[in-house]
Amino acid sequence: MANIFQVSDHDFELEVLNAHLPVLVDFWAPWCGPCKMVAPTVEAMAEEYEGRLKVCKLNVDDNPQTASAYGIMGIPTVAVFKNGEVVQKIVGAVPRETMKRKVEALL
């Protein structure tokens, strides 16, 4: 299985904002049903785009500072960062092909 990094308020800047690759961040919570529906898509993308895209997960319950800083109002939210900036936000459980198409456009 490809690497999926668990990030926190503490290491978000290092792991996401300072990354050399584009970074997909899955903002989620353990109690969130739609988050569980999106998880297999996120895992598949980590494997498919390994070496071209870094994939991270951030638990919003445990890391409210980062979630608030990026205006995460609903979960799941998948955000793609390039050069430390959000370039795409996908809110809600979207079909795999929709997420894939939006992320591929940024690679």
How does pLDDT run across 48-87, given as a tens digit for each residue? Answer: 999 999 999 999 999 999 999 999 999 999 999 999 999 9
The active-site residue out of 4, 7, 35, 67 is 35
Which ranges of the chain does DSSP label H, i.e. alpha helix?
12, 33-48, 64-69, 96-104
Give Dmax (Cα) for the chain. 32
Report how many domains make up the chain: 1
3-state helix, strand, coil in the chain (%, to 5): 35, 25, 40
Domain that holds residue 27: 5-104
Distance separating alpha carbons of residues 50 and 67, to the nearest angstrom: 25
- Please pick, among 23, 24, 32, 99, the residue that the annotation labels catalytic: 32
As a whole number, mean pLDDT of residues 37-58 equals: 95
Please report, for the domain that includes residue 33, its CATH number: 3.40.30.10
Query: Cα separations (Å) of 39 from 13, 42, 93?
Result: 23, 5, 10
Residue 107 has a pLDDT of: 87
Q: Which amino acid is at 7?
A: V
Q: Has 56 been annotated as catalytic?
A: no
